[in-house]
Amino acid sequence: MTSEEATQPVPANDFSGTIWAEVDRALSGITARPEAGVKDVIVHIPRDEVIAGLRRLKADAALHFDYLRCLSGIDREADGIEVVYHLYSTDKKHNLTVKTTLPMDDLNVATATTVWRGANWLERETAEMFGVRFTGHPDPRTLLMPEDMTDVHPLLKSHPLAEIEVLQGEGMGYPEEGA
Amino acid sequence: MVTERAREFDTQDLLINVGPQHPSTHGVFRMVLEVDGELVKDVIPYIGYLHRGAEKLCETMDYRQGIGFMDRTEYLAAFNAELSYVMAVEELAGLEVPERAQWIRMILCELNRLSSHFMFLGAFGVDTGVMGTPFIYGWREREMLIDLFEEISGDRMMYAYFRPGGLAWDVTRNFKERVREVIKSSAQGIKDFDGLFTENEIFVARTKGIGYISAEDAIDYGMSGPSIRASGVPLDVRRDEPYLKYSEVDFQVVTGQHGDVFDRYACRLQEMRESIKIIEQCLDKMADTGPIMPEKMPRMLRTPPGEVYMRTEAPRGEYGIYLVSNGGNRPYRLKVRSACLSNLQALKQMSVGLYVADAILVLGSIDIVLSEVDR
């Protein structure tokens, strides 16, 4: 149990009947705060410890989260960017969501490709869409965006949707308004 | 694969660009093959040619408007894509879907699996070098299914028929008879493909033993659907985390043993038989009349703040919708977990060491839809 959790009021559902007890045991020594999700338990881990935590969740015999379902980001504007890992165990058949929050002025987090190889493209996508840098990533190219558009991060809330055509640049052959 | 005699020649490595406009890449996918003679030494995939930013666009649309975008992310199995999305919204909004609507959804999703797999069989035949016959056979069966979808939803591919809460409107009065008619024809179509491919010596010789991936690697890459089941991993969302009424029907999770191209083909074909079994059970259990939408639906659908990762088993694997709401009438963030994207990551591992012509088969065997990969 961590100091951060002690200050938080315990939610109405006390995580009994969920896998939180197991997760808490596997993550001993790592700061982790549970939150009740609609389907799965969500665990918040600070970014310095998140990869160590994920590795332990995968290695733990009782949990065995060997399958990375999804890796994505959420732009919480002033609260930074959340990187979300959806884990699944192919033999134990249980789910867990792990989240880590990065402050807007320092969007660095260690890569999860060292835990699951499948994180490779998912991290590349999250990197280009949110400007997150996954340190130690073996192949930090763009995935869906053009190679030279490394300074545009479309899924950020600050990215204007209506002006995308402008961003794509002049000279694309679009006729002028009213021409 | 290389004979000693071939090794004596000192050859220079060559880069071959396959795609984005190439018939074997099933869409706008590009891969650069580094080849030594006929042998593939490296594969560098490039995607993103079809990136339309559906996730960002959905953030500006209310929940009902987003359905159309989901159709377009997975155009060969649009019912399955819609299903994930509307179920994610229902889960957050706490909507109860009437039973009859659930049965109809299930029938349509399984029919969509059939049509999508028929498309795969036809296209895969072309990949193996059999132009014509299998393609037309696959197309013929798919056409029957699509005609049925058109009768029900009004559209051949982009249905927008599932709505949060239920269905857009009721099915036609002769729905059950029409479905029975179509699955009868599909069952015959599957038999035809057995004769065309499964018992075809040349086809078997071309596809057996190539494009191998082990169960551990497949799990590590996050593969799903028939592509991972062919490696012997019984991973099926319908069985592991039943949604709709899948817990009430009896079906087998088809797995392969060898994890090669032939197994990935055979798994799909066998899976189609299971789909027909599921549809028959659904038709027996489904009521002829009844509500298809909850009685009280709000005019403007809002969801409480929260998030859900909804996953369903689409024809190509796990199609996930990660929906984050901040209490409004539109998603705060919507992430589409594409099965093909994860499956495609294993392409390099499966293709290195094969002949160029076999690498095309490997790509065909994971059955990619580029609009789902790029979104």
H/E run at residue A135 = strand A133-135
How far away is chain B from the Cα of A139, in angstroms, using its nearest Cα?
A: 11
- What pLDDT does A77 receive? 85
Query: What's the CA gap between B58 and B80, in Å, rounded?
Result: 18
Q: What is the CATH number of the domain that holds B324?
A: 1.10.645.10
Q: Do B309 and A120 touch (CB under 8 A)?
A: no
Of the candidates B355, B322, B266, B313, the residue with the CA atom closest to the CA atom of residue B92? B322
CB contacts, 8 Å: A164 with chain B: 53
How far away is chain A from the Cα of B18, in angstroms, using its nearest Cα?
A: 17
The beta-carbon neighbor of A38 closest among B235, B306, B332 is B306
Q: At what angle do helices B99-128 and B261-285 cross, to 10 degrees?
A: 150
pLDDT mean over A46-59: 89
Identify whether B26 is part of a domain.
no
Identify whether B89 is part of a domain.
yes
Which residue is associated with the tokens 């696959």?
B138
Show the tokens assigned to B60: 């500006």
Higher pLDDT among residues A168 and B79, named by residue: B79
Provide the number of structural domains found in chain B: 1
Show the tokens assigned to B67: 């359905």
> Does residue A166 carry a pLDDT above 70?
no
Query: What's the CA gap between A85 and B287, in Å, rounded?
Result: 40
Calculate the average pLDDT of chain A.
80
CB under 8 A, 24+ apart: contacts of B147-151: B148/B111, B148/B178, B148/B179, B148/B182, B149/B79, B149/B108, B149/B111, B149/B112, B149/B115, B151/B178
Residue B32 per-residue DSSP state: E
Q: How far is CA B265 from CA B22, B271, B358, B366, in A?
A: 22, 10, 14, 9
A36: buried, middle or exposed (CB in 10 Å: 19+, 13-18, 0-12)? middle
Q: What is the pTM of this model?
A: 0.85
Query: What's the CA gap between B79 and B124, in Å, rounded?
Result: 22
- What pLDDT does B22 receive? 79
Q: Do A69 and B337 touch (CB under 8 A)?
A: yes
From start to end of B47-98, where are the E strands? Answer: none
Name the band, by pLDDT with cuts 50, 70 and 90, for residue A3.
very low
- What pLDDT does B300 receive? 81
Q: Do B53 and A97 touch (CB under 8 A)?
A: no
Q: Do B322 and A72 touch (CB under 8 A)?
A: yes
With a CB-CB cutoff of 8 Å, which residues 14-53 of chain B face chain A? 47-48, 51, 53
- Number of Cβ within a 10 Å radius of residue A173: 5
Q: Are B128 and B363 in contact (CB under 8 A)?
A: no
Identify whether B206 is part of a domain.
yes
> Does residue A179 carry a pLDDT above 70?
no
Identify whether B366 is part of a domain.
no
What is the domain extent for residue B342?
Answer: 55-352
Which residue is associated with the tokens 């609009």?
B371
- Fold classification of A3-167 (topology level): Beta Polymerase; domain 2 (3.30.460)
Name the band, by pLDDT with cuts 50, 70 and 90, for residue A165.
low
Structural domain boundaries in chain A = 3-167
Identify whether B49 is part of a domain.
no
3-state SS class at A85: strand
- What pLDDT does A162 receive? 60
The ipTM, to two decimals, is: 0.83
pLDDT in tens, chain B (375 residues): 555 655 666 667 888 888 788 777 777 888 888 888 888 888 999 988 888 888 888 888 888 888 988 888 888 889 999 999 999 999 888 888 999 999 999 999 999 999 999 999 988 888 888 878 888 998 999 999 999 999 999 888 889 899 888 898 888 889 999 999 999 999 999 999 988 888 888 889 888 888 889 999 999 998 999 999 999 999 899 988 898 889 899 998 999 888 899 999 999 999 999 999 999 999 999 888 888 888 888 778 888 888 899 999 999 889 999 999 988 888 899 999 989 899 999 998 899 888 988 888 898 888 888 888 888
In order, the DSSP letters of A21-32 are: HHHHHHTTTS--
> Does residue A110 carry a pLDDT above 80?
yes
How far away is chain A from the Cα of B334, in angstroms, using its nearest Cα?
A: 9
- What pLDDT does B290 receive? 85
In chain A, what percentage of residues exceed pLDDT 90? 21
